[in-house]
Amino acid sequence: METRIERDSMGEMQVPADALWGAQTERSRRNFPIGAGREGMPVELVRAFGLLKKAAAQANRALQPQRMTEVKCDAIARACDEVISGALDAHFPLVVWQTGSGTQSNMNANEVIANRGMQLCDVKLHPNDDVNMSQSSNDTFPTAMHIAAALMLEDKLLPAVDGLVETFIRLEAENADVVKSGRTHLQDAVPIRFSQEISGWRASLERDREMIRVSLEPLMELALGGTAVGTGLNAPKGFDTLVAARLAKLTGKPFRTAGNKFHALASKDELVFAHGAVKALAADMMKIANDVRWLASGPRLGLGEISIPENEPGSSIMPGKVNPTQCEAVTMVAVQVMGNDAAIGFAASQGNFELNVFMPVIAYNFLQSARLLAEAIDSFNARCAAGIRADRAKMHANLHDSLMLVTALNPYIGYENAAKTAKKAYAEGTTLKEACVALGFLTEAQFDEVFRPEEMAGE
């Protein structure tokens, strides 16, 4: 492999000749062979660095034009645009398992942007003096985390939720006239409309969507401008507010500078809070996916009240078997999100003094959760939920075979006598009507007058 010599404050390093990174990135690449090729810094975070470095250059140009010249600013901005687009993803080789401040990833961005900027424009750029001007890893990394998290939630996860909500709205309308047996404790319960059951799924997602939107507000506060320990050392006055305004313009999101930079560097509570809302969504998706696979269980020996799309063979030994694989994928993702939530909570609790040094693992787990959940919801919607069909005949048969319909008799024969009716019907394998008449609680005509299962579900 051909190499070139790069230099940093510790001396010379041989770097791959075609790589845009420099000596500090190369040191980290060699010093942390942990999860290489599998657990790299998330691309969403890399692109967030592109956004913040562009905004920082523009703010420095406005506040320190003697240092950030027009040609330097243009070169940095053009290189950042390539980072933002993903064109330079291959030049960000570092893994999550590095310094807890993310210093090497900040320098990776600085080196790549400087080297690419010099290729694009006839100007000399220094990674620290120019690209990292008015910044520290300690305020850029948490800023990148908030940018990446906010964009992921608002632009990827919430649209996935919206899509599934729309599917459930359609299914509600299609099944408004279908009455089936409800179930609690995995036991028969009183009747419910299938549309009502679906509305519970929809409302859960709508509430999760509200909570995620609430959690977005704190993520809009950015640490940038706090530099090393929150004091803003080496950053010009007004840099923090101007760079936040530039980021807001670049992204279309209402980013603003954090009111207390000491908090912004040391605490990660905003990400813990936001991931809690993501976990709530995962919990509801677990419940919905389980409901769907229970209702579709069978095809002959389960509940079999709905059919779902058959996407692939389900067994290598049992011919014709088809499994609820989309439901299984959703539930596995939900488990991963719940595990990630524990990791994020532990990591956020471990900040010492002026800096949390568990930031890369927080970013990795947060972005993985949001990404996986968004993709799982999209897949579940397209390949399962959209194709749910009620088996009306089976629902009707199950409804009329349910002993819990006896609840309708409570106002007429009382709870104790209704219980006797149900137990007699169950023990003797008869109908509720036969048992009720045999016990002398109602005549056949009286029973027929008050026993109307389809009306028990309400509107």
Q: Using CA atoms, how far apart are residues 55 and 32, in angstroms rounded to an integer?
A: 30
> SS3 for 43-56, per residue?
HHHHHHHHHHHHHH
Which entry of 136, 185, 275, 349 is annotated as an active-site residue? Answer: 185
Q: What's the N-to-C CA distance of the chain in angstroms?
A: 73
Q: Using CA atoms, how far apart are residues 128 and 136, in angstroms rounded to an integer?
A: 9
Can you point out the beta strands (E) in 149-252?
179-184, 187-193, 221-222
Token pair of 458, please?
Answer: 């309400």
* Residue listed under structure tokens 């509107």: 459
Contact 356, 138 (CB under 8 A): no
Q: Using CA atoms, how far apart are residues 382 and 86, in angstroms rounded to an integer?
A: 27
Which entry of 199, 204, 315, 316 is annotated as an active-site residue? Answer: 315
Cβ contacts of 231 within 8 Å, gap of 6 or more: 261
Cβ contacts of 450 within 8 Å, gap of 6 or more: 408, 409, 411, 412, 442
191 — phi, psi (to 5°)?
A: -65, 155
Q: Using CA atoms, how far apart are residues 356 and 269, in angstroms rounded to an integer?
A: 11
Q: Using CA atoms, how far apart are residues 14 and 23, in angstroms rounded to an integer?
A: 7
Q: Is 185 a catalytic residue?
A: yes
How do strand 11-16 and strand 3-8 relate by DSSP bridges? antiparallel
In DSSP notation, 46-103 reads: HHHHHHHHHHHHHHHHHH-TTTS-HHHHHHHHHHHHHHHHTTTGGG---BSSS-TT-H
Q: Using CA atoms, how far apart are residues 140 and 224, in angstroms rounded to an integer?
A: 6
Amino acid at 309: P
Q: Using CA atoms, how far apart are residues 36 and 11, in angstroms rounded to an integer?
A: 25
Q: Using CA atoms, how far apart are residues 56 and 246, in angstroms rounded to an integer?
A: 8
Cβ contacts of 183 within 8 Å, gap of 6 or more: 189
The answer for 252, left when phi > 0, alpha when psi is -120 to 50, beta otherwise, is: left
Distances (CA, A) of 205 to 19, 290, 324, 381, 456: 45, 15, 21, 13, 27
Instruction: Enumerate the active-site residues.
Output: 185, 315
